A and B are shown apart, each in its own frame.
Chain A
Amino acid sequence: MSAPPTAKISVRDLTMAYGSFVVMKDLEFDVLERDIFIIMGGSGCGKSTLLRHLIGLREPARGEVFYDGASFTAAPTADRERFIRRFGVMYQSGALWSSLTLAENVALPLEEFTRLPARTIRDIVSYKLSLVGLAGFEDYYPSQVSGGMNKRAGIARAMALDPDILFLDEPSAGLDPLSARRLDDLILRLRDSLGSTFVIVTHELASIFAIGSNALFLDTATRTQGAIGPPCHLRDHSESATVRSFLNRGEDSAPETQP
């Protein structure tokens, strides 16, 4: 048996399946502390599924997920809460609670898990919404704002408790370029000021290169991880043509496929 891993998040020999349908197999990677770890790959290749495995919404068909060397997969349900309390998660569709206003959505975890006075909670909520550019929309319901705004409010909610690790599922899909850029700034700032670790599913090449410190490519063809490393390095030096082509928007591989 190998020594327990030491990274912030370690995935060992992970196979993910829905019933008998294997989505990805033999995943093995580490996410370091203060990493901005990008998960990328074609649509439907299992990125969201991987995220759901990392946060414990689905159990691995095989393999284990470790946090700081402690096995999350093997932890009994009661102990899992200790892990989960350190996570902040933004779901692909936002997943805001539709019967609460944006402010109430962000405030709910603060009210449940801290003893802060109502006034401080209000200030924190307004600060988090300001960070994602939603100042003034506190009293709107999710159905009254646009999809991109829902998404940003989802990020504000994920940040509510200043989590140790933030999981973001396609945060910049549906955002305008300026908002997407601001989001990148925000992620870097949060990493630097609070020391958070980020795991981000994204296709946004500009943002992958701007903020990603490490990237994992999930390959649909082989059903396993294609490559892992710093995104700029992968773009220029990856052994896999698929990865290079993905990171160059298919531009450098085009000549190769033509006779």
Chain B
Amino acid sequence: MKVAVQGSASPRPPRATWQQEGRVLRLEGRWHRDAPPPVLEGTAPPGLPERFDCTQLEEFDSTLPAFLLAHARLAATSSFAWDGLPDNLRGLMQLALGVPEQSDARGSPHDGSELRALGEWTLRTWKATRATLAFVGESVQSLGRFAVGRARFRGRDFWEVLQQCGAEALPIVALISFLVGLILAFVGNVQLANFGANLFVADLVAIAMVREMGVMMTAIIMSGRTGAAFAAHLGSMQANEEIDALRTFGLQPFDFLVLPRLLALVLMMPLLTIYSNLIGILGGMLVGISVGIPPVLYWNETVESITLTTASLGVFKSFFFGAAIAVAGCMTGMNAGRSSAAVGEATTRAVVASITAVIVLDSGFAAIFTLLDI
């Protein structure tokens, strides 16, 4: 074993032996990441030895220089002679130590105790709250600039967003509204049939759709569809410094990116809501017909049950929901971090925030309408 000849058939495992009280480091065997972990023998000095004995070193990949570098770093001096190392290895070690370690850089980005984590969380939450308020404020200012004709954005962008959150949303809104209409009618019919009041299914579906379900369903679909798209788009723009590029051209990123989206969604939400109401009523009617209510009768009952006030309540709410979804989507996108994961996070937060906002707003409206007795 001691006299193993270099280049013998089976490579020997890597071994590092400190000799002569740590003044000589003897490196042996095949240092390779497929080889077993290196065997360390002798007491390691705090730093590197004066001399290396590499006569029995067979072959090495990065594991050997990595091992040496870890020891050199402990010694904290940058100039070693690396006596006895093969030329290439010495060259690599000198390269690795050529640029002094940025010691103040190490460890500073995160170093976590729980108290610190709590503090950071508090600061983050506080910052997020302030950012939300600032964003809402800026939205209003931006709308103001738009009203006096001083907001710049590209008409083409506006049309694209308009199409994306209007026409392209029609199929999914239709499907969901139709199914909701069906469900309402089914559930209503089972209960009302007990009193022989089948016909009132028409009232039930009409009022539920027009006051609540139409606008609510549309808002939830648009949160998942358009709010998420806004967040992902603006988030990746932020990650790529595209927003900074707008800013350096003297363009207001807010007017340029947020305003067209806000306007488009606020314009489209009411239209989608009316559409959703109609399709939902149609769905209800289908159930009505299937349980034997004549279509004409059903239709008349529906028309009689809806007053102009009832019908306008849903549409009125839809403006606010649209604004909430657009603001939530754009805000999380614009404030996203600079990584791909941050874009994903922003999208998630946009959807959660907009659905929460929509439901909270809706409860608020319900309370107000009850007080006003509408």
Contact = CB atoms under 8 A, between A and B. Distances in A.
Given A126-B70, A130-B69, A141 B99 contact: no
Interface string A100-144: 000000000000001011001001101110110111111111111
B101 interface: yes
Contact of B62 (A99, A138, A162): A162
Contacts of B63: 116, 120, 124
Contacts of A114: 33-34
Contacts of B338: 98, 141, 143
B105 A140 contact: yes
A139 B92 contact: no
Nearest to B34: A114
Nearest to B108: A139
B88 A133 contact: no
Contact of A193 (B70, B92, B342): B92
A139 B106 contact: yes
Nearest to A183: B95
Contacts of B340: 97-99
B69 A127 contact: yes
How many residues of A sit at the interface, in one of the four size bands?
Answer: 35 or more
A109 to B, nearest CB: 11
B119 interface: no
A22 interface: no
Contacts of A189: 88, 91-92, 95
Nearest to B98: A182
Contact of B88 (A123, A140, A193): A193
Given A136-B103, A136-B105, A162-B61, A98 B89 contact: no
B337 interface: yes
How many residues of B sit at the interface, in one of the four size bands?
Answer: 35 or more
A162 to B, nearest CB: 5
B374 interface: no
A185 B92 CA distance: 9
Interface in B96-143: 96-110
B66 A124 contact: yes
A94 to B, nearest CB: 13
B77 interface: no
B69 A99 contact: no
A236 interface: no
Nearest to A145: B105
Nearest to A191: B88
A239 interface: no
A99 B341 contact: yes
A205 interface: no
B341 A98 contact: yes
Nearest to B109: A139
Interface in B22-62: 33-34, 37, 60-62
A231 to B, nearest CB: 23
A99 B336 CA distance: 13
Nearest to B339: A98
A235 to B, nearest CB: 27
A135 B92 contact: no
A97 B338 CA distance: 11
Interface in B66-98: 66-67, 69-70, 73, 87-89, 91-92, 95-98
B65 interface: yes
B101 A194 contact: no
A127 B62 contact: yes
Contacts of B92: 131, 189-190, 193
A210 interface: no
Contacts of A142: 339
B239 interface: yes
Nearest to B67: A123
B339 A131 contact: no
B320 to A, nearest CB: 35
Given A143-B337, A193-B89, A193-B92, A127 B102 contact: no
A74 interface: no
Contacts of B339: 98-99, 141-143
A133 B105 CA distance: 13
Nearest to A113: B33
A251 interface: no
Given A98-B239, A143-B339, A194-B61, A126 B66 contact: yes
A117 B33 CA distance: 10
B69 A120 contact: no
Contact of A123 (B61, B70, B98, B337): B70
13 contacts: A114-B33, A114-B34, A120-B63, A123-B70, A135-B101, A137-B105, A138-B106, A141-B338, A141-B339, A143-B338, A162-B33, A182-B98, A185-B91
Interface of A: 97-99, 114, 116-117, 120, 123-124, 126-128, 130-131, 133-144, 159, 162, 182, 185-186, 189-190, 192-194
Interface of B: 33-34, 37, 60-63, 65-67, 69-70, 73, 87-89, 91-92, 95-110, 239, 337-342
Given A143-B339, A159-B62, 4 more contacts: A114-B34, A130-B95, A135-B102, A136-B101
